[in-house]
Amino acid sequence: MKKVYINNTPLILCHDFKEVPQKYEKNENVLLSRYTGKSKSLLNYIDNLEKEHNYHAIVISSPDFDKLWADFKNLYKIIKAAGGLVHDEKGQILMIYRRKSMDLPKGKLEKGESKREGAIREVEEETGINGLHISKKLLKTFHTYKDRKNRRILKKTYWYDMSTHNQATTPQTEEDIEEVLWINPQEYNFGQRHIFNNILEVIEKKHNFR
C-alpha cells in the first residue's frame, strides 16, 4: 500500500481494500475504486484531487499492485528528499514556519549524498542548529505539487528521528523560512496554524497528540 498526498488529501494505492484502515474503508466521503489498467483513469483521480476537495480520500486497488504503482509514478517527475523530526533534551520538537505553514526541516538530496547525510545537512541549513544525532528511521512520505513549468512532481521524503541539545536557531530566510521554533508536541495546538497532513503523519509516528 502507498499513500500519496495530493493537495493535502490522501490518494491510497493498494492491492486490496482489506489493506486500508477502516477510517477510509467505511467512510462515505472516501471514494473506493478498482484500477482499470489505464493510466488515463489515474489522471482523472489526480486531476480531481488537485482541483477539488470532494473527498476525504480516494482509494484505488489493483491485484497487480506493482503495475498500479509504476503507472502512477510514470505520471510524475520524482524528487527524493530527506528531513528530520528533531528532539531536544526536554522532548520538544523543532519546527519551521514557511509560506504560511508549519513544517519540519527537510530538502532535496544532492547528487552522491546518502539519505542520512542529506537529512542532517538540510536540518542544519534550514534551522542553524548543530550536534545532530540520528537514532532511527521513522518513515517515508509522498506528496505531489507542480513546479514552475507546470510539471507534476512526486516528492519522496525519508524521515529520521533526531536529537540534539536545545540551542539558538537561525531561520534560512533564502528558503522563505520565517521562524524556527521548539515546541512541546503534547501541548501545542496544531490547529492554530496551517500544517500539511503528511507533516502531521511524521509527528504522529513518534507522538500521539490527537
Q: 199 near 102, Cβ under 8 Å? A: yes
Instruction: Report how far residue 26's alpha carbon sits from residue 148's, in angstroms, rounded to the nearest whole number.
Output: 38
Give the CA radius of gyration of the chain: 18
Does 28 share its domain with 43?
Answer: yes
Would you give per-residue pLDDT tens digits along the chain (210 residues)? 999 999 999 999 999 999 988 887 777 899 999 999 999 999 999 999 999 888 999 999 999 999 999 999 999 999 999 999 999 999 999 999 999 999 999 999 999 999 999 999 999 999 999 999 999 999 999 999 999 999 999 999 999 999 999 999 999 999 999 999 999 999 999 999 999 999 999 999 999 755
For residue 76, what are the contacts with CB-CB under 8 A and spacing of at least 6?
Answer: 144, 152, 153, 154
Bridge pairing between strands 2-6 and 9-14: antiparallel
Does 109 share its domain with 134?
Answer: yes
Does 54 share its domain with 89?
Answer: no
Which CATH number characterizes residue 173's domain? Answer: 3.90.79.10
Question: Of the candidates 160, 183, 174, 179, which has an alpha carbon nearest to the alpha carbon of residue 106?
Answer: 160
Does 163 share its domain with 177?
Answer: yes
Domain with 159, as residue range(s), is 79-206
Bridge pairing between strands 152-163 and 77-87: parallel
How many domains does the chain contain in total? 2
Q: 88 near 60, Cβ under 8 Å? A: no
Does 165 share its domain with 182?
Answer: yes
Q: How far from 42 is each of 20, 51, 54, 96, CA to CA, in Å?
A: 18, 14, 16, 33
Bridge pairing between strands 77-87 and 106-108: antiparallel
Does 188 share its domain with 102?
Answer: yes
